[in-house]
Structure 1
Amino acid sequence: MMGGSSESSELDRMALTVLQPGFDGTSPPDWLRRALAEGLGGAVLFARNIADPDQTAALVAAMREENPGVVVAVDEEGGAITRLEARTGSSWPGNLALGVAGDVSLTQRVARQMGRLLAAADITLDYAPVVDVNSNPRNPVIGVRSFGADPALVARHGVAWIQGMQGAGVAACAKHFPGHGDTMTDSHLALPTVPVPRDVLERRDLPPFRAAVDAGVRAVMCGHLLVPALDDAPATLSHAVLTGLLREELGFDGLVVTDAIEMRAVAALRSPGEIAVGALAAGADAVCVGVSSPEGESVYALRDAVVHAVREGSLAEERLAEAAGRALRLAGWYAREAPARAAALRDADEGLGLAAATAALRVIGTAGRPALRVAPLVVEMSARPTQAVGRATPLGVGGALAEVLPGTVRVEVAEGGDLPDLADPGRPLVVAVHEAARHGWIQRLLAEAVRARPDAVVVETGLPGTPAGAVYLATHGNSAASARAAARWLTGGG
């Protein structure tokens, strides 16, 4: 570690201020406490850090004992992307469901209630909402995380979501700039390219970000994306994208945070220190690091890489000071919003999650509404969740039906597996699929199931595809709320 002069000490502190690392454990490890006391400006919570609401609040309180202004961040999008409710599944439908429901006031209320959840844990920053326009239906990582494929709709709901979250006193973060919707590659695995001309970006991908900036969003997350129309460097490392476009053209003056720098889109190109320095030089203010070494050596190595870059002249000290200042400014905004959080904590909106998920249900191909009275056989088929999701949603359609109809039999079929025996005519069949249109093996088994049982009810929890079965119910998301809304509708409730 570096030390010595007051100048060195100040550089060290500024370099720590711009880092937002993840860590292991449900209480802060010793290295994290030490780093926070030395000026570490942020930290990111994942499902691995969270057991229950009381523990989460205690964890954040322990972090704030070392640095009261630490920017505590979390990925809490609703739908399949939840950290605080990873053990149970999200109480809130995700973005696509809200976009389909089409009511911006509903979107704002949902985001406020999600803000209430974060406020109870004293979390500063939510890495949400996704304001990518899902223009490519075969996108492997955005999909139901987007409000939809229409830029104007995405902009409207993105603004409503930001207003709801920030109205509850928690900072929102629009992502993934300049737009991850038209990609065929998951940036967790490789570098995606958005191969369209600038005019397409202007009319399709950028409007929701412009709207978010105009609405006062406190943070923007850049995506690990290659956009040749803007630069030949990934957006995370592009001065043209982060400073020229986001700062100068869109007028954003809040916190720019990177996506996690261990994602292969950039990690395959440069070392962690080089990515951190390059992102800061390009215009980022906070470097998100999802995984840290057990004793925190990797975090201190990033600090030292940033300090070294300043000393050798590859990163201007003024740029580092500006970035650190923006992180501190966000912490100051959060401190001033304490009354808004207190008001939100008194503002419970019971039943809202289920009501919002119900508003997003769409039924195709039914001559009459099914009302399941007998415990069904539920066959569930889904590809492995992406790294963005983490673990699969704990409560699927089968689990939600079992809550209503005890005796429900659930069978999960993975890629390479076979369907169970479907022959019992006395037991209704429900086939629950996720993103069938994107996975040939799910399409094949779904067709086989419907041939064997034309009376099957099909529930699609992702982007809807070709309708199948006697009834085709689209939930437009795979949260616990959406599963329960589907179960209630299938059993005659709602």
Structure 2
Amino acid sequence: MLIIGVAGTTLSDEEKAWLRAPNVSGVILFARNTGSRDEVIALVDAIREAGGEDMLVCVDQEGGRVQRLREGFTRLPPLSTLGLAYDRDPAEAVRLAEEHAWVMASELRATGIDFSFAPVLDLARGSAAIGNRAFHADPAVVGELGQAYVRGMHLAGMAAVLKHFPGHGSVAADTHLAAATDPRSRSELDMADMAPFIEAIEAHAEAVMVAHVTYPAVDHRPAGFSPVWIESILRAELGFRGAVIGDDISMKAAEVHGSVADRVHAHLDAGCDLVLACFPDVVSEAIAAVADRPADTASPIAGLRATIGATWEGLEDNPQRDRFVARVTALESA
């Protein structure tokens, strides 16, 4: 039920014990957990040695300012560069989106990491939290590039995680720092922010991360705590059958639901399959909160486990990768 954060580049005895807790499904890595590529690989191996081979390992590797793994990895441009490329040549931008995704995903797979929380499908409409993490302001463009990005991840053997449903890009506030509210009607959301998610779900994305934004015209609760958004809209109306992931319970906008334990239960009661406890200072309380909660044997989280990926030696001996890296990294100078 939980994906947790750990403090550094090695595991403490307490963190190893966390990974043995029955309701801990995986670990999310941050810059604090990364050094050289070999150190990252060693940490991933240590996580699975402590928690078992089925332990999920994930990261935010979007490109631009949200790229946790850097040393020894391709410096990926932000997704906004693909939107700019689309304005010049749509067909070429779609190819580049697939290639950007494949480079990102194949490098993570060669490191033993299961998935990145990608792609971002929020619209580029003024959000402080999103900025150049978004492809474009036009929902149709975001939908087309999002589908291409999902295809590229799948080609590398990686599941896609769409974020931040039903759309954070039109909300100025940053949910890391403050509560965020979007007053628009359901019909306005359908025509704009939700449209790219619908298209990417049709491309068989395996998971959706739900935003901490509140949409009072639909429900008084933030979307990640809302059975209306998760069960009634995402699952029943849109037919999504993959994993639903709540955003980090440490974020300021999550505090509306009280204690750490209250936040964890609110996510799970709303229909989330996984809850993110990204910072070590909340992990013990989150684990205690779910200690007696029965696991859902029908949970779709198994679909997040990656297929076998290439080794780094195989990647470095792949001329296709060289071409893709050259084309993708040239986006920022275009």
TM-score relative to the length of structure 1? 0.62
Give the corresponding residue for 1:410. Answer: none
**Residue 68 of structure 1: which of 28, 34, 53 is its match?**
53
* Residue in 2 that maps onto 1:183: 171
Q: Which amino acid aligns with 2:33?
A: N
Distance, in Å, in 2 between the alignment partners of 1:268 and 1:248 is 26
Which runs of 5 or more residues in structure 2 are unaligned? 87-92
Q: Identify the residue that residue 321 of structure 1 maps to in structure 2.
A: 296
Q: CA RMSD in A?
A: 2.1
Given the alignment, which residue of 24, 28, 43 partners 2:27?
43
Alpha-carbon distance in structure 2 between the residues aligned to 1:223 and 1:322:
25
Does structure 2 retain, via aligned residues, the 8 Å contact 1:93–1:353? Answer: no
Aligned residues of 1:261 and 1:290 also touching (Cα < 8 A): yes
Hey, what does 1:464 align to over in structure 2?
none
* Cα distance change on mapping 1:342 and 1:22 into 2, 3 Å: same
* CA distances 1:121-167 after superposition (whole Å, capped 9, x unpaired): 11112111100112x2x321112111101111101111111111121
Q: Which residue of 1 aligns with 2:154?
A: 166
* 3-state secondary structure, aligned to 2:192: helix
Aligned-partner Cα distance in 1 for 2:174–2:72: 26
**Distance change (3 Å), C-alpha of 1:218 and 1:341:** farther
- State which of 349, 362, 366 in structure 1 corresponds to 2:321: 349
SS in structure 2 of the partner of residue 165 of structure 1:
helix
Which secondary structure does the structure 2 equivalent of 1:61 belong to? helix
Q: Give the secondary-structure state (helix, strand or coil) at the position aligned to 1:77.
A: strand
Aligned counterparts, 1:290-329, within 5 A = 290-293=278-281, 298-307=282-291, 310=293, 317=294, 320-322=295-297, 325-329=299-303
Correspondence 1:31-430 to 2 at 5 A: 31-39=14-22, 40-66=24-50, 67-85=52-70, 91-102=75-86, 103-134=93-124, 136=125, 138-293=126-281, 298-307=282-291, 310=293, 317=294, 320-322=295-297, 325-331=299-305, 334=306, 337-338=307-308, 341=310, 345=315, 347=318, 349-350=321-322, 352-359=324-331
Aligned CA distance change for structure 1 residues 150 and 302 (closer, same or farther; 3 Å): same
Report the residue type matching 2:189 in the other structure.
L
Give 1:254 shift: 1.2
Q: Distance in 2 between matches of 1:247 and 1:29?
A: 39
Bigger RCO of structures 1 and 2 (CA < 8 A, at least 6 apart): 2
Q: Give the partner amino acid of 1:107.
A: A
The CA distance in 2 between the partners of 1:356 and 1:208, in whole Å, is: 22
Partner deviation per Cα, 1:369-398 (whole Å, 9 max, x = no partner): xxxxxxxxxxxxxxxxxxxxxxxxxxxxxx
Q: Which amino acid aligns with 1:24?
A: A
| 8 Å contact kept, 1:131–1:155 | yes
| Residue aligned with 1:43, SS | strand
**Alpha-carbon distance in 2 for matches of 1:227, 1:153:** 24
Identity %: 35
Q: How many residues align?
A: 323
Quick one: structure 1 residues 153 and 303, their matched pair in 2 at CA, closer, same or farther if it must change by over 3 Å? same
CA distance in 1, matches of 2:113, 2:12: 18
Q: Secondary structure of the equivalent of 1:221?
A: strand
Structure 1 residues without counterparts, runs of 5 or longer: 1-17, 311-316, 360-481, 487-494
Amino acid at match of 1:84: L
User: Which entry has the higher C-alpha Rg, 1 or 2?
Assistant: 1
